[in-house]
Chains A and B, each alone.
Chain A
Amino acid sequence: MRYATTLGAGLLTLALTGCAGVLTNNATAGQSGDDNTVTLYAVSGPEVTDPILGAFKSKHPGIKVNRIGLPGTGEAFARVRAEKDRPLGDVIWGGSSELYTANADLIAPVELPNDAATVAKDPDHIWHATDLLFQAIAVNTDKFPDAAGHPKTFADLAEPGYAGGKVGFATPKSSGTSYSLLTTMVTLHDWDYVDRFVKNARMLDGSTAMFNMVKDGEVGTSFINEDLGAKWIDAGAKIKLIYPEDGVSGQIGSAGVIKGAKHEAAAKTFVDFLMSKEAQQIMVDEVQRRSSRGDVPAPKGLPPVEQLKRADVDEKWAAEKKDEILAEFDDAVKSAG
């Protein structure tokens, strides 16, 4: 029995410490109004956020950033939506602009000084461009060594008997990257193309799986975010990036100020800083992502944006007809068996 008493006493002590901790938190942190903190909901990992947060800290030592990492844009907006009546976050950063537009009711439209300097601008000031992101076709060179057979275009991927085996493709219902690829396919070609492509595709649960499986050689071909692909090649992954010649899909990486944020002024300062030349230079040099500004060149390892033929996807169509597009894709998958 003695050990139980000891254990109980120990846990009780822990309990009291914990309660004391909770109380002091509420007493000291201050509930509203102060502009010396920003609570950031970050969808990217520390490899993206930390260098820029470091620069922000030295530029604005008076503002403390509380970084809260969330698994994905879907989860981040789910949390913001659940907290809608009493927002606990101030800024959401990461994920592409369409997702911000789709959740516009959760975001405060604010006009920021650096908006004008970015190449992509939101007329409604919901999202603010922090980086540009394109997808390349990724080929695993171990699994698919014959360089002559490597695909050059989206069209190649839909050829009957495509030499690279199954093409990994995340289900566009859950992956924004995949949805963007799908709308690109439909724009460049048509739904017949999608029918043929799906026959060659291996459907995966999310974009992370789509990236990882080509790296790990589970599939011979897949799509990948170019910055990640370039970093992985640096790290020794046996993959090759191919920008499709018939058109490249891309997104605008974004940030936004959460509606009803407790620290709105600090939040605006922070988002504006993300678009500043200083932060964008770090984005290119250390994070190795493309800048959203015209005056910062592409990171080493990525081709200049002028060399890419960008697919001209009608964003309005992609946003408004989402349910129809996804349903049609479902049908294509079903009929492919």
Chain B
Amino acid sequence: MAASTTARGRPGRRPRSNWRDPWRLAGLAALLILLIFIVYPQLWIVRAAFTDDAGAFTLARFGAFVTDARFTEPLVHSVVVSLSVGAGAALVAVPFAFVMARYRIPGRQGLLTMLTMATTSPPFLGAYAWLLLLGSGGIITRAAREAGLPLPFESILGVGGIIWVGVWFTFALIFLMVYDALRAVDPALEEAAASVGSTPWRTHWRVTLPLAVPAIATGCYLAAMRIFADFGTPMLIGGGYSMLPVVVYQNFMSEVAASPGVAATASLMMVLVSGLALVAQRRIVARRSFAVTGGRDQPLRELRRGPRALVLIGVWTALLLGFVPHLVVLLTSFLRWQSGILQWEPTLENYRRLFEESLQPIVLSFVFAGIACLMALVMGVVVAYIVARKRFRVSGPLLNNLVMVPYILPGTVFAIGFILAFNHLPVILTGTALIIVVAYFIRRLPYVMKSIEAALGQVHPSLEEAAMSVGAPPRRSFRDIVVPIIRPAVISGGTVGFLQMITELSATVMLYAVPWVTMTVVIFTNAMQPGSPFGVASAMTTVLLVSVYVPLYLLRRRYKTVSL
């Protein structure tokens, strides 16, 4: 049915059976996978949202989100905070991405690697780092108070803290996307602008920046959604500031009075809001301006000494702030913790205790995230290509929206759906390693897919059409035209996806079974209660970050020699 609508929708095209288009089949296969692993497991949420406590159909739960302050307040809070974080992170990221993409900056490869690293925050302990520094009894707060320095706040707790932490843990995501986009801009366009007398600034504003708009929009969208769906930060830093993910989580998981109906409704509200955000993102990307027609690299320009020093200070400050959680975890892994309280005594005891136990979690984490990342790359390319290129009436928008659902659902809720769906015939996955792999793949697919989509948004379809017009079959034009251009995005999308998978915590904790213990499970186990041995968790986090960053660094070096 979808095929015939599409055929009628394009009367001008030469008649060709849509089913011969390999993308049509690939799209249907992708849709099938998403139906099995996203829609089917999460249907229970829809069911719970539309039934009242007695089991009858109701719409009243949604009414409460418009009338009851207990729900409207978190809704408004969440939207405001997400928008602020998206805007704030873009303000930090876009100028830096622009400068780094255009000018010769000393240590650029190192900076790029570190920015990729900064897209991942240490799981679980990360948000606590800021509290340790800027909380009411925090290290910096106390030092400032003793030195008599006035601070604009008494404690980082509260809405300001959520936004602050959110900006620093999302700006690298926007940076990478915008940087990749700017690097891909054909220098001929800017040369053309200059040749007709445009000043450099005017060229930046009127030519370069608009070309990066798809990437900026997608980056902002991802950053805003990341904080919109984040449950840990408001829980830890919010100090009681109500936000939707907390409402969802508490109503699903409350030990006293869980109300799955309320939680399910709140989840659907989140999916709805994210759907609206997706529409906005799509509108911006759809008014896209294609930047890439050739494959020529941007030449890097020299920067005068003064501005260069300024840029370097700025970039390193942003990086430092982005790495605060990582540094605090690293530092505390070498300090003694007693019953969850930091003692300022250096020790290697945490590492000794960690290595006493099996090192299998390190291997398992890599295997799980590696397989899942490979799956996500294949799927991400297929879905992104269809969304960006093919005007499939039904499957296109459906794919685009479905892929984003796991991005919004809290990991724990997502995992409950998986257990409900795959703990009985015909498919039993619970208790196996496969369920973790599939969960990683589905849950982190949005990162991979969105970054490839942003890259495709820059490639003008005319390139492929040109290839096809001289007789290249679609497969060949895809391989020879599209693949080389989206390769940087595939690499950075895949890397970010992998980092997000290997640090996935909340779904893993609900799904894992012995012996499938990952590094994040070890971290969590040693930090789950206020009196837990946090030092061991810090040590495991450090090992996790190092074991991820070393291959990442090697990949970056290699990638530099091959592609840039």
Binding site for B on A (CB under 8 A): 1-4, 7-8, 10-12, 14-15, 17-18, 21-22, 25-26, 39, 44-48, 66-75, 77-79, 82-83, 85-86, 88, 95, 99, 142-143, 171-176, 178-179, 202-206, 208-209, 211-213, 215-218, 228, 231-232, 234-237, 322-323, 326, 330
Contact = CB atoms under 8 A, between A and B. Distances in A.
A82 B419 contact: yes
22 contacts: A7-B555, A11-B371, A14-B366, A14-B371, A15-B374, A18-B367, A45-B533, A48-B529, A66-B515, A70-B509, A73-B255, A75-B253, A86-B423, A88-B430, A95-B255, A174-B250, A216-B131, A218-B239, A231-B531, A232-B341, A235-B339, A322-B257
Contacts of A88: 423, 430-431, 513
A234 B338 CA distance: 9
A78 B423 contact: no
B446 interface: no
A202 B423 CA distance: 41
Contacts of A323: 257
B521 interface: yes
Given A66-B513, A203-B240, A218-B136, A78 B371 contact: no
Contacts of B525: 45-46, 69
B295 to A, nearest CB: 14
Contact of B514 (A2, A39, A99): A39
A32 B6 CA distance: 52
Given A172-B256, A237-B341, 6 more contacts: A12-B374, A66-B514, A71-B412, A83-B419, A204-B239, A205-B240
A216 B371 CA distance: 42
B492 to A, nearest CB: 14
Contacts of B239: 202, 204, 209, 213, 218
B269 interface: no
B258 A74 contact: yes
Given A82-B416, A83-B419, A232-B341, A77 B524 contact: no
B255 A99 contact: yes
Given A74-B258, A174-B254, A211-B530, A18 B437 contact: yes
Nearest to A230: B339
A206 B341 contact: no
B433 A74 contact: no
Given A68-B512, A75-B510, A18 B371 contact: yes
Interface string B334-350: 00001111010000000
Nearest to B530: A211
B137 A216 contact: yes
B424 A206 contact: no
A70 B343 CA distance: 27
B423 A83 contact: yes
Given A15-B374, A217-B137, A3 B256 contact: no
A86 B530 contact: no
Contact of A82 (B138, B257, B423): B423
A211 B367 CA distance: 38
A206 B238 CA distance: 12
A173 B430 contact: no
Question: When A and B form their complex, which 10 residue pairs have the shortest distance between CB atoms, in order from nearest?
Answer: A66-B514, A45-B532, A82-B419, A217-B137, A235-B338, A74-B255, A231-B339, A45-B529, A74-B253, A235-B341
Contacts of A75: 253, 412, 509-510
B259 to A, nearest CB: 9
Interface residues of B, number: 71
Contacts of B533: 45-47
A173 B254 contact: yes
Most buried by A among B155, B236, B240, B434: B240
Contacts of B138: 216
A15 B250 CA distance: 36
B267 to A, nearest CB: 14
A11 B498 CA distance: 12
Most buried by B among A22, A39, A73, A322: A22
A305 B431 CA distance: 42
Contact of B343 (A82, A202, A236): A236
Given A14-B366, A14-B367, A236-B341, A71 B255 contact: no
B246 A15 contact: no
A171 B256 CA distance: 10
B48 interface: no
B432 interface: yes
B509 A202 contact: no
B535 to A, nearest CB: 11
Contacts of B437: 18
Contacts of B136: 143, 216-218
Contact of A18 (B255, B257, B368, B555): B368
A78 B528 CA distance: 17
B197 to A, nearest CB: 41
A141 to B, nearest CB: 12
Given A75-B253, A75-B510, A173-B256, A47 B341 contact: no
Nearest to B533: A47
A205 B509 contact: no
Contacts of A21: 367, 433
A17 B419 contact: no
B367 A47 contact: no
Contact of B339 (A17, A95, A175, A228): A228
A235 B345 CA distance: 12
Given A46-B533, A175-B256, A228-B530, A86 B430 contact: yes
Nearest to B559: A3
Given A216-B135, A218-B136, A235-B338, A15 B256 contact: no
Given A85-B423, A235-B341, A3 B367 contact: no
Nearest to A333: B70
Nearest to B44: A82
B410 to A, nearest CB: 11
